[in-house]
A and B are shown apart, each in its own frame.
Chain A
Amino acid sequence: MNALNEQEVDGGAVKPALPFFLFGKFKEVGFGDKLFRGITGFFAFLILVLALMTFLALWVNSGPCFKAIGWKFLISSEWDPIQQKFGAVPFVYGTLVSSFLALLIATPLGLGISLFLTELAPLNLRTPVAFIVDILAAIPSVVYGLWGMFVLAPIMQAYVDPVMVKVIGGPFFVTTSIGLSFFTAGVILSIMILPTIIVISREVFEAVPNVYRESAKALGATDWETIQLSVLKPSKPGVVGAVMLGLGRALGETMAVTMVIGNMAQVTPNLLAPGHSMASVIANEFTEATGDVYLAALSEIGLLLMVITLVLNIAAHLLVWFTTRNYGRA
């Protein structure tokens, strides 16, 4: 048995709210405690190992490509495995274009929905809408892809694309659509990143103290003016963070994009043309890649994709953390 000493009982009884590490020195730390701490600490350490392994695996894998092509890989837009010519530009372009299109659609929708959920909706409507968002988040991406291929793409080709050509036209919407395009990929991505944007921005909006809202209302502000003044304004960095996390998800999304983007490596301003993305070229060609350089080129695209998403995610996490932390003091 572990004998209790006086101080511990006193410490516990007088200030029960003290966190244990403050009077930890009065406690007897037995062998079992050290062992337990060691074991759990080891598992925590494994997470660092996993991260290191992820990075090293990609780094080592992409070695042959870096040796053969070097930095030119990043600026070349030629992708011809038979001629051993590899360039990442068409894929980076496709990923960025489809993701930004997705943001363009999902940001107003997502923010509208989370404002609706936190500020405007009657209480009995909030749970069903939140439930819908949960389901949207739970649907596997291959199912989105299947629906995108057989339902969304034909609709885009028949109805949406002609309208876009007529209304916007120009270099961005030229009439050569088979339904599989940057634009369709952007639309399906926008649906998939909606839950991410909604959940995070909702968290940010909910962190705004009610006093802010009450003050605006007391000055005679309408609902929308209240939202503008006391919800949107102080939570701006957090909202940016939410959008960036959505972007992070869009960049890494593989299956749905692969199934609707058309899989053609090209750089063109025409959004209705088929394209390719970083994730989808890996998904399509990794198992069929012959030769060291080809495989390494795909790994290097993976490395590039990881670096881009990491930078974005880190910045986004910092922004969200910064915004929600500030309210803690208010």
Chain B
Amino acid sequence: MFGINYQTRRSFTNKLMVFLCGLAAVIAFIPLMSLLIYVVSQGFQQFRPAFFVNLPEPVGVPGGGMANAILGTLTLMVIASVVGLPVGIFAGVYLAEFGKKSKFAWTVRFVADVLSGVPSIVTGIVAYTVIVKPMGNFSALAGGCALGFMMIPIVTRTTEELVKLIPHSLREASWALGIPEWKTILSIVIRTAKNGILTGVLLSIARVAGETAPLLFTSFNNQFWPRSINEPTASLTVQVYTYAISPFDDWRQQAWTGALVLLLIVLAVNVFAKMFFKTGRGVLR
């Protein structure tokens, strides 16, 4: 049983499994490459200035663009940040600074984890119920709130982890100067953790920027320039979806270009965010 065959089999199994693990990495690489190649090559065909300055045109009319959708996505990001960031950051600070042992903090932490697992389409229904229904129309405000709700748990948890990373000696130095606790937290702890928190914020923005599902029945869609945040607003993601499922080749082509622009925005924000903060990779996803 312990002869040559046994040793050969062991070494063969070992080589096979190591090979399979490496192969898994290669296999995961294939769809990614295919996706990137298609988005870039198809998207580039309409990737020209007109796409960024023109409104969508009816089928058959050349020169349509997604300018309003790009502006709409930016608007939604701003509203989402206004809704999501204060709650997320302050709640995160509370959990890190005052919530070491309390039951309340444990509950909040748990609920935040649970909330980050809620499917985005469900968040859409919630925003529809609490904002679209009472106001009587689809609006950028509702879409932004839906995205903001999604940001809250992500930002809370990353902020908490990052604030916890700040060395305790910094706090002690501040107390030794007789600086009150709240001022220590605001101007020493948060300031030191600033880059990390900013990274977490940018990553959460990049994540919600690519969301479509919660916008379908909150901000809806619009073919024209938005005039206020209280009316249906186009967004890149919804526009890509609408064009993709349409039967017209012209629109489908534009969907690819929209996808390219979306991908560029999301990846740019991701890379930019990670440049800000290199050491916190374990904390930030």
Chain A residues with Cβ below 8 Å from B193 are: none
Tell me whether A142 and B121 are in contact (CB under 8 A).
Answer: no
Smallest Cβ-Cβ distance to A48: which chain B residue: B111
- What 1/0 flags go to A31-47 for Cβ under 8 Å of B? 01101110111011111
Known contacts A30-B180, A47-B152; 18 additional CB pairs below 8 A are A17-B168, A19-B168, A21-B100, A27-B181, A36-B186, A47-B156, A50-B115, A110-B24, A132-B32, A142-B259, A147-B35, A150-B244, A224-B18, A255-B213, A302-B121, A302-B122, A313-B114, A317-B113
In the assembled complex, A163 has its CB within 8 A of some CB on chain B: no
Which residue, B23, B117, B206, has most C-beta atoms of chain A within 10 A? B117
Given contact pairs A44-B108, A46-B91, A223 touches B183 in the complex (Cβ within 8 A): no
**Could you jot down 24 A-B contacts, CB within 8 Å?**
A1-B178, A12-B175, A17-B168, A27-B181, A30-B180, A36-B185, A36-B186, A39-B90, A44-B95, A53-B130, A54-B126, A112-B25, A121-B25, A137-B285, A140-B212, A141-B210, A143-B240, A146-B244, A147-B34, A222-B10, A222-B13, A224-B14, A225-B10, A312-B117
Given contact pairs A1-B178, A12-B176, A112-B20, A254 touches B121 in the complex (Cβ within 8 A): yes
Tell me whether B94 and A40 are in contact (CB under 8 A).
Answer: yes
A302 to B217 Cα, complex, angstroms:
14
Q: How far is the CB of A244 from chain B (nearest CB, A)?
A: 10
In the assembled complex, B241 has its CB within 8 A of some CB on chain A: yes
Smallest Cβ-Cβ distance to A249: which chain B residue: B117
A191 to B169 Cα, complex, angstroms:
44
In the assembled complex, B194 has its CB within 8 A of some CB on chain A: no
Please give the residue numbers on chain B whose beta carbons come within 8 Å of chain A beta carbons, in ascending order. Answer: 10-11, 13-14, 17-18, 20-25, 27-29, 31-32, 34-35, 38-39, 86-87, 90-91, 93-95, 97-101, 104-105, 107-108, 111-115, 117-126, 128-130, 149, 152-153, 156, 168-169, 171-172, 175-176, 178-183, 185-186, 206-207, 209-213, 216-217, 220, 237, 240-241, 244-245, 252, 255-256, 259, 262-263, 266-267, 270, 282, 285
Tell me whether B216 and A286 are in contact (CB under 8 A).
Answer: yes
Partner of B28, one of A136, A248, A255, A259: A136
In the assembled complex, A9 has its CB within 8 A of some CB on chain B: yes
Given contact pairs A2-B180, A47-B91, A146-B259, A279 touches B119 in the complex (Cβ within 8 A): yes
